[in-house]
Amino acid sequence: MLALAGSYAVIDSHTAGHPTRVILGGLPRLPGRSVREQRDYFRNHHDALRAALLHEPAGHAAMVGLVPARPEAADFGAFFISSYVYLDMCGHAVIGYAKTLAATGSVAPPCAYFTLETPAGIVTVHLAWSQSGALESVRFQNVAAHIGVEDLAVTVDGAGPISVDLAYGGVWYAIVDASAIGLRLDPEKIAPALQLGAAIKAAVTEELRDLPPASGGGAAPSVLFYADISRLRARHLVVLAGNKFDRSPCGTGTSARIALLAHQGRLGDGETYIAENLHGIGFAARMTGGTPEIEGIAHITAFSTLVKEASDPLAGGFLCQ
């Protein structure tokens, strides 16, 4: 007989390779009117659950969790937890949540869209269904994106001066042209990109020490490397930490990049930009009336119950960095 300290119903999915773990049962009730207030209560009172549910041995460094929350002004509510930080917005997880809602019957044809309250604001999620009733694609209208600092020069040991652009797409990103610094975005050679991305992140954070609005109020911007394939297509790699990268093209990162392209006059209103990950799987993105829209699809990988034995010395989770 098992002596359990807790059990948690979850549905796992991946969006272009990056995981979303929707936590449907086992969490304590979270007071607060808005999703942001509920998120803050979770962070202040139950942060140990983030590690227990996302870190090894139940998860890994790149795991992202989504906690459904009571919306104040939308059809659904959710906040996002990751192995290191809390995210105000997470594009790949929004797509994963839409797939999870469809898999559980919470949304179904002919539902064409729903609104989702996140800590960053309300996003509208559009659903495209096949004739058989399967969810074929998800397109979300993100929160407003904007530019922070352009052509910020940072110096990284061994790499010299590097030019970065700071842009916000629900989360702040330091955007770097990989080709300009001789970096190959190759799934077989990920280690050098992680090392360089972590170094750039540290350098940018230091440069922005006196500019909190451009760094997300003190949060270190992740690094989005891009390599243009054509005018409207590029490969993306988002480095989150020295041991963590986004397997998808990154929804909020893509939002930041297309906002920058539009600001530079390189992307017209309504033009479709394809952001692909290291495996060539793409998000379709466009700026419509100044708002980023990202389209992709997720796939379910597991319906399961995570359990924590009372006697398990590693039940709280661990990460090796």
What distances in angstroms separate CA 92 from CA 125, 134, 222, 267, one per listed residue?
Answer: 12, 19, 15, 22
Whole-number pLDDT of residue 212: 53
Global pTM reads 0.96
Same domain, 134 and 153: no
Give the chain's domain count.
2
Convert the pLDDT of each residue in 100-132 to its tens digit.
999 999 999 999 999 999 999 999 999 999 999
- The residue assigned the tokens 């659904």 is 76
Same domain, 13 and 32: yes
Residue 320 inside a domain? The answer is: no
Whole-number pLDDT of residue 208: 84
> CB within 8 A of 108, min separation 6: which ones?
102, 133
CATH label of the domain that carries residue 188: 3.10.310.10
- Residue 25: burial class (beta carbons within 10 Å; 0-12, 13-18, 19+): exposed
From CA 123, how far away is CA 144, in angstroms rounded?
10
Does residue 320 have an active-site annotation? no
Does residue 90 have an active-site annotation? yes
What distances in angstroms separate CA 77 from CA 70, 98, 125, one per listed residue?
Answer: 5, 12, 12
Convert the pLDDT of each residue in 128-161 to its tens digit.
999 999 999 999 999 999 999 999 999 998 888 9
Whole-number pLDDT of residue 217: 44
Same domain, 123 and 156: no
Residue 239 inside a domain? The answer is: yes
Whole-number pLDDT of residue 211: 62
Active site residue: 135, 200, 203, 250, which one?
A: 250
pLDDT at position 14 over 90: yes
Same domain, 63 and 183: no
Residue 38 inside a domain? The answer is: yes
Same domain, 126 and 201: no
Whole-number pLDDT of residue 215: 42
Cα four-point dihedral sign 3, 316, 61, 95: positive
Active site residue: 16, 78, 90, 162, which one?
A: 90
The number of angstroms, rounded, from the C-alpha of 186 to the middle of its chain's C-alpha atoms is 21
pLDDT at position 37 over 80: yes
What is the band of 1 on the pLDDT scale with cuts at 50, 70, 90?
confident
Same domain, 20 and 115: yes
| Cβ atoms of 67 and 42 closer than 8 Å | yes
Does 242 or 48 have the greater pLDDT score? Answer: 48
Convert the pLDDT of each residue in 159-186 to its tens digit.
889 999 999 999 999 999 999 999 999 9
> Taking residues 77-100, what's their average pLDDT?
96
What is the band of 216 on the pLDDT scale with cuts at 50, 70, 90?
very low
What is the band of 189 on the pLDDT scale with cuts at 50, 70, 90?
confident
pLDDT at position 5 over 80: yes
SS3 38: helix
**Within 13 Å of residue 39, how many CA atoms lie on the same side as its CB?**
25
From CA 270, how far away is CA 245, in angstroms rounded?
29
What is the band of 219 on the pLDDT scale with cuts at 50, 70, 90?
low
Same domain, 128 and 161: no
Same domain, 263 and 157: yes
Average pLDDT, the chain: 94
Strand partners, 80: 66, 87
What is the band of 321 on the pLDDT scale with cuts at 50, 70, 90?
confident
